[in-house]
A and B are shown apart, each in its own frame.
Chain A
């Protein structure tokens, strides 16, 4: 049998549906959302109606249970339209996966159906004012008192924190990493909006201030000590997967805009597309996007079969896709010249959004450190010593 890298008929149909949804419902509003730094509730409602918010939730809990490749295609398409909205899908799905994988039976039965329909929006709360890449140094604390945990600390840059109903909060309890579900209306939790970011501007970032915030001990996800290496890591793996595909979407939006522009605008009496240096940028974009998509397919396939290598392959896909998205977006602005720098064209938004992708879910530099580990592991395992 020959090796085949091709979508199934179901995945192709799903891709067509995602594409139409993004063209009709997201792209017409994406620049407005960016300018206003706001995602309108009706846009989120539309995602919910399409059952996209339950993409990674099994049908027994009311989800639409997309396979990893179809979920990737959804992220690519939404990322092509609006990286902010794609980020909502990312963080919401990360929390859903964390609850699905490590939650108790009662947590799954209570939360998953609500997350699947979008009745409840979830956000992921790991980063802090002093802690980004070095996530093991989080300063938020939890203290067990009777049947409750008391949380103290601050979380920062929480995507869709302004509108989320529940947060997956990471804290240290007696030296052990723990993950907790914290509902937005818990006394002691104050949510403060963050505005005027450079990219993904409609993602409604917030700070969480936990000041003797008391939650029931049943809100612990997983077990004490397993909050980081298991709960956060598995969620971040799905986060990286979503971002990787989202970056393919950004790069595609840039390429499509550039193809259209260079086909219509003339300089020196010929269309821009006739200029060799323009063609170089276009060709590079095409090759990079294809390469990034293949890495995403590979990561998705390994996720589907539950291969342990899926973790590193997802990191590689995220690393490569976010780097090339920046290159393609920067070239798209260059190709568009003055127009590309103006609010009349979307390429400046893609460029600003792409920058964020190299920072979130493991920065480019963190990926550059960890991917090397994989190389050594593989080399040693294959007994080339």
Chain B
């Protein structure tokens, strides 16, 4: 879990510059808007954690914070492991 969060934090750092992002900080509220960001985030999660982000995962709550993204990834990895 902590490792997942660290990796997400490292990825997000390139978009947020010197801002030290907290686990529960709302990334949408920071006013970061770039249409390329969303796709890069999806590709990062898919490549790094070997899970597919799909239709049913499209909920802003899943991407709002590092904590939320980490939970989504853990849930998806658990489903894969259970198969």
Q: Chain B residues in contact with chain A, CB under 8 A?
A: 11, 13-15, 17-18, 34-44, 46-47, 54-55, 58-60
Contacts and interface: CB of A to CB of B under 8 A. Distances in A.
Contacts of B38: 229-230, 233
A253 B18 CA distance: 48
A171 B35 CA distance: 16
Contacts of A378: 14
Contact of B39 (A103, A223, A230, A381): A230
A185 interface: no
Interface of B is mostly: helix
A223 B55 contact: yes
A229 B55 CA distance: 14
Contacts of A229: 35, 37-39
A223 B54 CA distance: 10
A132 B11 CA distance: 31
A37 B11 CA distance: 47
Given A102-B58, A233-B36, A385 B18 contact: yes
Interface string A366-385: 00001001000110110001
Given A105-B55, A307-B43, 15 more contacts: A102-B55, A229-B35, A229-B38, A237-B39, A306-B46, A306-B47, A308-B40, A308-B41, A308-B44, A308-B47, A312-B40, A315-B36, A373-B34, A377-B15, A380-B13
Contacts of B59: 223
Contacts of B58: 102, 222-223, 226, 230
A217 interface: no
B57 to A, nearest CB: 9
Contacts of B43: 306-308, 310-311
List 4 A-B pairs, minimum CB-CB distance, nearest first.
A381-B14, A229-B38, A223-B58, A308-B40
A385 B14 CA distance: 12
A228 B44 contact: no
A210 to B, nearest CB: 23
A380 B17 contact: yes
22 contacts: A102-B54, A102-B58, A222-B55, A222-B58, A223-B59, A228-B35, A229-B35, A229-B39, A230-B42, A306-B46, A308-B11, A308-B44, A311-B36, A311-B39, A311-B40, A311-B43, A312-B40, A373-B36, A377-B15, A378-B14, A380-B13, A380-B18
A62 interface: no
Contacts, number: 67
The residue in A225, A308, A311 that gathers the most chain B C-beta atoms within 10 A of its C-beta is A308
Interface of A: 101-105, 136, 222-223, 225-226, 228-230, 232-234, 237, 305-312, 315, 370, 373, 377-378, 380-381, 385
A311 B47 CA distance: 14
Nearest to A382: B14
A104 B55 contact: yes
B17 to A, nearest CB: 5
A377 B46 contact: no
B13 A381 contact: yes
Contacts of B15: 377
A230 B39 CA distance: 6
Nearest to B44: A308
Nearest to B40: A308
Given A103-B55, A226-B58, A306-B47, A312 B13 contact: no
A370 B14 contact: no
A232 B18 CA distance: 30
A305 B47 contact: yes
A234 B54 CA distance: 13
Nearest to A223: B58
A370 B55 contact: no
A222 B18 CA distance: 33
